[in-house]
C-alpha cells in the first residue's frame, strides 16, 4: 500500500500544547472513563500518567505517555466484579459508531520502551492487547513469566501472541524480541477481520518496519477495544485469579508509549504516512 493512500482512522498521537488534564475529559482521542483504577476511590488520568518529549518512528516530534501501575491500580466493573487479582491501567480509544475501528483490514501501530520503574518478571505483564467482548484476545503482547501459555520464563522479552478466541490451549508465540532499556520497539499488527488473518511488523528506534509474521489464520471475535497500557496477571495461586489472585505489595512499574494510531488497510513500513 502506498503511503499516499494511507488513511488514519484513529490517531492517539499527542498534539503539541496538550495538558495532562485533557485525558480527564473528551479533549483527547482516548476514552476518559476506561480503564483506570476506581477502587477504593476513582483516580484521574492526570494523576497516573506521566509525559516526556520523545520521538519515535511515526511520531518524530511527539510526546511519549508513561502508563504507571501501582498497588491501588484495581478496577471494578460493578459491585460484584472487583478485580482484586489484577493490577491494570490501560488507555483505550474513544468508542466509534458501529465499531468501525475493528472492521475490514486495520493495522494497529505502537512504539514502546521500558522505564526505570522495572517490572518484577515473576509476573506476567500484558502491555498491549486487542480484546473481544468475551474477554479473549485477538492478539496481545506479553513479558515476564507466563501465566497460562507455553513459553519459558525469561528476562524482559516481548512476545507477540496469537488469538485466544478459539481457546487458550491454541495460543502460540508468533514473534519475540528483548525489551531492552534505551531501545524503542516499534510494532504494527495488521488484522483482516473479514478473512480472520494476522500479519505483523517490527523494528527498533528509527529503522523501517520489517515483516516478522507472514499472514496467518488468526480467529477473531466481536471486538471490545484495543488496550495500550499495563495489565499484570497474578501469580497462579488462586482458582479465581481475576478476583482472588495474589499481587505483591509495593508495586510500581510502567511502560512508555509513543506513536499510537490505527491505519485503515495494510501496513505502511516507514514515514511519511501521507
* Domain ranges (residues) in the chain: 3-264
Position 174 scores a pLDDT of 97
Do residues 10 and 274 touch, judged by C-beta distance below 8 A? no
Query: Dihedral sign, CA of 250, 227, 96, 110?
Result: positive
Give the burial class of 59: count Cβ atoms within 10 A of its Cβ; 0-12 exposed, 13-18 middle, 19 or more buried. Answer: buried
Q: Using DSSP, state whether 24 is helix, strand or coil.
A: helix
Question: Stretch 48-65: mean pLDDT, rounded?
Answer: 92
User: In the structure, what pLDDT confidence band is assigned to residue 2 with cuts at 50, 70 and 90?
Assistant: very low
Q: Does domain 3-264 have CATH number 2.40.110.10?
A: no
- Please state which of the ranges 91-105, 127-141, 152-166 shows the lowest mean pLDDT: 152-166
Task: From 108, 105, 159, 99, select the one nearest 132 (Cα to Cα).
Answer: 99
CA atoms in the 13 A half-sphere facing the CB of 222: 3
Residue 31 has pLDDT above 70, yes or no: yes
Do residues 173 and 166 touch, judged by C-beta distance below 8 A? no
Question: Stretch 94-105: mean pLDDT, rounded?
Answer: 93
232-271 per-position pLDDT tens digit:
999 876 678 888 888 988 899 999 999 999 999 999 999 9
Beta-ladder partners of 68? 254
Hey, what's the cell of 6?
A: 494511507
Q: Which helix (H) or strand (E) holds 230?
A: strand 223-232
Position 35 scores a pLDDT of 86
163-206 per-position pLDDT tens digit:
999 998 899 999 999 999 999 999 999 999 999 999 999 999 99
Please name the residues in contact with 240: beta carbons below 8 A apart, sequence gap of 6 or more: 85
Distance between CA atoms of 136 and 150, rounded to whole angstroms? 17
Position 17 scores a pLDDT of 87
Distance between CA atoms of 13 and 158, rounded to whole angstroms? 22
Query: Dihedral sign, CA of 265, 108, 156, 54?
Result: positive
Position 83 scores a pLDDT of 86
Position 140 scores a pLDDT of 98
Distance between CA atoms of 261 and 180, rounded to whole angstroms? 23
Q: What are phi and psi of 102, to 5 degrees?
A: -125, 45
User: In the structure, what pLDDT confidence band is assigned to residue 4 with cuts at 50, 70 and 90?
Assistant: low
Position 1 scores a pLDDT of 47
Do residues 29 and 10 touch, judged by C-beta distance below 8 A? yes
Residue 14 has pLDDT above 50, yes or no: yes
Give the burial class of 8: count Cβ atoms within 10 A of its Cβ; 0-12 exposed, 13-18 middle, 19 or more buried. Answer: middle
Distance between CA atoms of 175 and 92, rounded to whole angstroms? 24
Q: Would you tell me how many other CB atoms lie within 10 Å of the CB of residue 195?
A: 12
Position 240 scores a pLDDT of 84
The rounded mean pLDDT for the chain is: 91
- pTM assigned to the model: 0.93
Q: Using DSSP, state whether 105 is helix, strand or coil.
A: strand
Distance between CA atoms of 85 and 77, rounded to whole angstroms? 13
Q: What percent of the chain has pLDDT over 90?
A: 68
Amino acid at each position: 500500500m502506498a503511503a499516499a493512500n494511507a488513511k488514519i482512522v484513529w490517531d492517539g498521537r499527542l498534539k503539541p500544547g496538550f495538558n495532562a488534564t485533557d485525558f480527564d475529559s473528551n479533549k483527547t482521542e482516548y476514552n476518559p472513563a476506561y480503564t483506570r483504577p476506581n477502587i477504593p476511590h476513582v483516580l484521574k488520568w492526570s494523576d497516573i500518567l506521566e509525559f516526556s518529549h520523545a520521538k519515535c518512528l511515526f511520531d518524530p516530534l511527539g510526546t511519549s505517555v508513561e502508563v504507571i501501575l501501582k498497588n491501588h491500580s484495581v478496577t471494578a466493573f460493578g459491585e460484584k466484579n472487583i478485580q482484586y487479582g489484577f493490577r491494570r491501567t490501560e488507555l483505550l480509544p474513544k468508542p466509534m459508531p458501529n465499531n468501525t475501528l475493528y472492521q475490514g483490514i486495520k493495522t494497529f501501530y505502537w512504539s514502546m520502551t521500558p522505564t526505570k520503574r522495572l517490572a518484577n518478571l515473576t509476573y506476567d505483564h500484558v502491555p498491549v492487547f486487542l480484546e473481544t467482548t468475551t474477554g479473549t484476545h485477538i492478539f496481545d503482547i506479553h513479558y515476564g513469566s507466563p501465566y497460562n501459555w507455553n513459553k519459558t520464563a525469561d528476562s524482559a522479552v516481548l512476545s507477540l501472541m496469537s488469538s485466544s478466541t478459539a481457546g487458550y490451549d491454541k495460543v502460540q508465540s508468533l514473534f519475540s524480541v528483548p525489551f531492552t532499556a534505551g531501545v524503542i520497539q516499534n510494532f504494527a499488527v495488521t488484522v483482516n477481520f473479514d478473512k480472520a488473518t494476522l500479519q505483523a511488523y517490527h523494528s527498533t528506534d528509527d529503522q523501517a518496519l520489517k515483516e516478522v509474521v507472514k499472514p496467518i489464520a488468526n480467529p477473531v471475535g466481536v471486538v471490545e477495544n484495543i488496550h495500550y497500557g499495563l495489565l499484570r496477571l497474578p501469580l497462579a495461586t488462586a482458582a479465581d485469579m481475576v478476583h482472588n489472585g495474589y499481587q505483591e505489595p509495593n508495586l510500581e512499574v510502567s511502560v512508555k508509549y509513543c506513536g499510537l494510531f490505527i491505519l485503515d488497510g495494510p501496513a505502511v513500513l516507514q514515514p511519511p504516512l501521507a
